[in-house]
Structure 1
Amino acid sequence: MEEVLTEGKNFRLVDESELPEIIDFLADFLPDSIKFHQTLKTYLNDKVWDFHFYVTKNWPEQAVILHFPGMTRTPNNKLYESFSVFCPCDQLDNLELLETEDVLIDWSQPIYLNFTHAKIMNKIENFYANIGTVEKLYGDVYGLMDPQIEDTPSEVVIAEQAEICQLKPEHAQIIHDLYPANQMECIEVFEKLIDKLPCFGIFSAQGDLAAWMVQSYYGAMFSMQTRPEYRRKGYGIILAKHLTNLVTERGYLPFVVIRPENDASKGLYAKLGFKKYFETVRAILRPYEETGDSQGGGGTEHSDSEGVVAVNGDVELKGDQ
């Protein structure tokens, strides 16, 4: 097992007892901090996956926070191969500590950054231009900062006598197999999501799993997919509405990541009251001298029930399905 470092050059490992105070600190920077805020909350409440959180050695005066790994699977399955980072947008000069961090982050190797605020990514690009190239996938964060729990009808009316149910562990394999970004997420994370978080599917009258959507380990609602033969039945909006309500009931802030050009998904979530808050980026950072063909961390597509495509939790218009 890879050793967990207690400190780097500029950062120290956070003790779990510190997490509630850090969550409260990040709440002052919502909505910009929503992904990191909800990741911490999900970790503390549900322990879906083992993450290791680091703050600057003089936190919170220099407010930069990291977690490793940034995603549950990377090409070499190394703990420090990917990370996530948050820094308040009015304190971005503190990211110089990231540039000079040479213990936790090996800038001479490919780095996989999970969804990161675009302003933070721009700052990283400024110094990384001297190291290598940046491969990016953009998305817009839409969410509900003041969600209201709606009255849920005792029965949800679904086309063709289908029904909506919490997923079971035996469904993890099919969801993972049909998840195009499965090189980034191992099947174990889907099993744990199903066990610990709201993960719902719509089942046909014959008992087939027709569509599904889950809450992720970083708090977002993602992996909305519908099998082709069950599309055009409104399953997407049913799942999105149902999961939004459940996420809210459990004390989380519902949010999704949508590709900027995806008017279909914007319309779907607008019906539920979601608003756009900021742009986010997933990126692969490759040093100039790195000539291998490592794969992972990039965007991959999957279809949902409304003729849109999701990019590992993002949704993107892809014409008629």
Structure 2
Amino acid sequence: MYDSFSIFCPVSRLDTLKLLAEEDVLIEWSRPIFLNFTHSQIVDKLEEYCSHRLGFVEKVRGDIYVCERGLARVHQERSREQSEKDGSTAEEGDDGTPKAKEEDVKEDESLLAEAQLRQLGPEHAAAIHSLYPANDMESVEVFERLIRALPAFGVFSSDGELAAWMVQSYYGAMFSMQTLPAFRRRGYGLLLARRLTSAVLARGYIPFVVIRPENSASQNLYSKLGFRRRYETVRAILRPKGWLRGSDGEEAVVPEGSGVGGEEELTEAEVPEGAAERSRGEAEVPEGD
């Protein structure tokens, strides 16, 4: 397990991140630290200011796409609140709540003619986690908790096999959309994204997803649903100098004087499997179906 934290900092005030290097009494830098999805400029500055402490940094990059309907609803609610304070009349418009289009309803009915869409159960967590692209960064227990507490949908074939799925994460995040190879090219990804987006909006959240830059299939899918790119984000494991992760996934400190350790001494064999590829921009959202 990794210590974890998030950093909230306006992009216009990135210079204040120097405090993490100068007054870092609240951060334990002697062990690997897991940094959840954070604005890429913040991570870049963090690496710059704390380079004297860091060894190998494993990164996963992706773009944040946000549902415009959710943003419109938030803006309208704020406008209404301000109008009530001012005694003026707010301009009415789309409140961002999901509105089922007739063509979408017909398409969903057609897709579900030979399948069924329903809420997932904790018993599905292990199978979903085993195929999750970043399962080395998330535990199966996290999936179990999310499925118990939040909307998580699966498409089941006529014989009851789980064919595709998608889960709501913290706040309005939607992730882990996957379709088994035998069931791809049937539109299940769009069906799941549409249903989960509606469920997240109904719960009062702004839906958003993380998509790797080269994943044009997912970009096109979410664009159809009114999602727009906002910024690049990074998920990272910050390892202090002298720490490595073995092939079994276990973290270990390298004894001083052993001749191994430090960023400049890492060999390809010592880098966690897949880390080099992920650091070049692979995010957790899989290819669309």
- The CA deviation at 1:126 is 1.2
Highest CA radius of gyration, 1 or 2? 2
Q: Does 1:142 align with 2:71?
A: no
Q: Does 1:248 align with 2:201?
A: yes
Q: Distance in 2 between the 1:292 and 1:201 partners?
A: 34
**Contact 1:160–1:204 under 8 Å retained in 2:** no
- The CA deviation at 1:316 is 5.0
Structure 1 letter corresponding to 2:58: E
**Contact 1:259–1:316 under 8 Å retained in 2:** no
The equivalent residue for 1:239 is 192
Q: Distance in 2 between the 1:131 and 1:195 partners?
A: 39
What is the RMSD of the two structures over their aligned residues, measured on CA atoms?
2.7
Listed as ranges, the gaps of 5+ residues in structure 1 are: 1-76, 302-309
**Contact 2:98–2:202 under 8 Å retained in 1:** no
* Pairing 1:1-321 to 2, within 5 Å after superposition: 77=1, 81-133=3-55, 134-147=57-70, 148-152=96-100, 153=105, 156-158=109-111, 161-293=114-246, 311-312=283-284, 314-316=285-287
SS at match of 1:129: coil
**Contact 2:174–2:207 under 8 Å retained in 1:** yes
- The CA deviation at 1:100 is 3.2
Identity of aligned residues (%): 53
Q: Distance in 2 between the 1:185 and 1:132 partners?
A: 22
Structure 1 residues 203 and 316: CA distance shift in structure 2, 3 A:
closer
Q: Deviations over 1:166-217 (max 9, x none)?
A: 1122222221233243332222222221111110000111111110000012
- The CA deviation at 1:163 is 1.4
Q: Distance in 2 between the 1:175 and 1:158 partners?
A: 22
Query: Which protein has the bigger helix share?
Result: 2
TM-score calculated relative to the size of structure 2: 0.71
- Higher mean alpha-carbon deviation, 242-251 vs 97-106, is at 97-106
Q: Distance in 1 between the 2:121 and 2:138 partners?
A: 18
- The CA deviation at 1:145 is 4.1
SS at match of 1:104: coil
TM-score calculated relative to the size of structure 1: 0.64
Structure 2 letter corresponding to 1:146: R
Q: Distance in 1 between the 2:169 and 2:130 partners?
A: 17
SS at match of 1:91: helix
Q: Deviations over 1:133-187 (max 9, x none)?
A: 4332211111124333333349633155101111122222221233243332222
Counting matched residue pairs gives 230
Listed as ranges, the gaps of 5+ residues in structure 2 are: 71-95, 252-271, 276-281
Structure 2 letter corresponding to 1:94: T
Q: Distance in 1 between the 2:171 and 2:205 partners?
A: 11
Structure 2 letter corresponding to 1:141: I
The equivalent residue for 1:26 is none
**Contact 1:181–1:299 under 8 Å retained in 2:** no
Structure 1 residues 289 and 170: CA distance shift in structure 2, 3 A:
closer
**Contact 1:141–1:256 under 8 Å retained in 2:** yes
